[in-house]
Amino acid sequence: MRSSRRTTNRPARHAGRRRRGAGAVAPYHHGSLREAMLRAAERILERDGIAGLTLRAAAREAGVSHAAPKNHFGDIRGLLSELAAVGFARFGAALVANVREDAPPKARLAAIGRGYVTFAQQNPGLFLLMFRGERLDFGRPALRAAAESAFAVLAGAVGAQPSAQTPLTLSQAAHITAPWSVVHGFALLMLDGRLKPLIARIPGGTDDMTLLDAILSGPTPDM
């Protein structure tokens, strides 16, 4: 009888272990925790905004212990900086995604401008984070390299290709800043919803990107 009870109870005990294990946090192999945390942080950023993104919230979203992120990021500024680095890498790719190598300079610049605003439209939380310098540590190599690479695309679009360490003339700086200001300002106005009243007054189903195309093809400086 004792043997029979053991046989009967053993599956039940095992089932209990399986049930407990099913709800437990799955262990991460070395190297994958960082990526899991970054994915979780991005989901929170786009869903709840930067105010909702904390180390604890990201750890909870990723399904890991609250202490785990500190080994990879140190503090929330570290996590935000590494997430911004991911953003700048994608941003740089988005800028050149629709640029034709044989296109004239004005068409190349317009394609880069469209890529700039499209990225902001599709990744509003990440875009705003990337340009909030007070929350980021640009001393972190990944962030500095990704941001400089994206800036090089913008500079190259207007024919200026200095390295990050090369001094700029006032003329070069103005040449880069003029189109940058146009697309960045447009992106912020779009994200804030400030363009909607203006677009509503234009007949013919005009949307944000149609208005942007009209600006980029118009007689704006260096465009």
Q: Tell me if 11 is assigned to some domain.
A: no
pLDDT of residue 205: 81
List the CATH number of the domain containing 51: 1.10.10
pLDDT of residue 151: 92
Q: 106-129 burial, b for 16+ CB within 10 Å, e for fewer?
A: eebbbbbbbbbbbbbeebbbbbbb
- Do residue 164 and residue 187 come from a single domain? yes
Q: Mean of the pLDDT values across residues 5-17?
A: 43
pLDDT of residue 112: 96
For 160-212, write each residue's pLDDT tens digit: 765 667 788 899 889 889 999 999 999 999 999 999 999 999 988 899 999 99
Q: Tell me if 3 is assigned to some domain.
A: no
* Interatomic CA distance for residues 200 and 206, integer angstroms: 8
Torsion angle in degrees (nearest 10) through CA of 113, 116, 117, 123: 170
Cβ-based neighbour number of residue 33 at 10 Å: 18
Backbone phi, then psi, for 26, in 5-degree steps?
A: -70, 135
pLDDT of residue 162: 59
DSSP classification of residue 201: T
- Do residue 70 and residue 87 come from a single domain? no
- Do residue 169 and residue 209 come from a single domain? yes
- Do residue 37 and residue 119 come from a single domain? no
Q: Select from 74, 108, 131 the last residue of a domain.
A: 74
pLDDT bucket at 9, cuts 50 / 70 / 90: very low
Cβ-based neighbour number of residue 65 at 10 Å: 10
* Interatomic CA distance for residues 158 and 163, integer angstroms: 14
DSSP classification of residue 97: T
Question: Taken in order 2, 7, 13, 17, is the CA torsion positive or negative?
Answer: positive
22: left (phi over 0), alpha (psi -120 to 50) or beta: alpha
Q: What tokens appear for 67 in the block?
A: 């202490």
pLDDT of residue 200: 93
Among candidate residues 139, 120, 28, the one with its CA nearest the CA of residue 78: 139
Q: Say whether pLDDT at 19 is over 50.
A: no
Q: Mean of the pLDDT values across residues 38-51?
A: 95
For 54-82, write each residue's pLDDT tens digit: 999 999 999 999 888 888 899 999 999 99
List the CATH number of the domain containing 211: 1.10.357.10
For 139-157, write each residue's pLDDT tens digit: 999 999 999 999 999 888 8
Number of structural domains (the chain) is: 2
Domain span at residue 197 reads 83-223
- Do residue 48 and residue 126 come from a single domain? no
pLDDT of residue 13: 42
- Do residue 198 and residue 89 come from a single domain? yes
Q: What percent of the chain has pLDDT over 90?
A: 62
Q: What tokens appear for 110 in the block?
A: 């317009």
Are 87 and 130 in contact by the 8 Å Cβ rule? The answer is yes
- Do residue 123 and residue 32 come from a single domain? no
- Do residue 218 and residue 133 come from a single domain? yes
Model's pTM, two decimal places?
A: 0.81
Residues contacting 149, CB < 8 A, separation 6+: 88, 89, 92
For 117-129, write each residue's pLDDT tens digit: 999 999 999 999 9
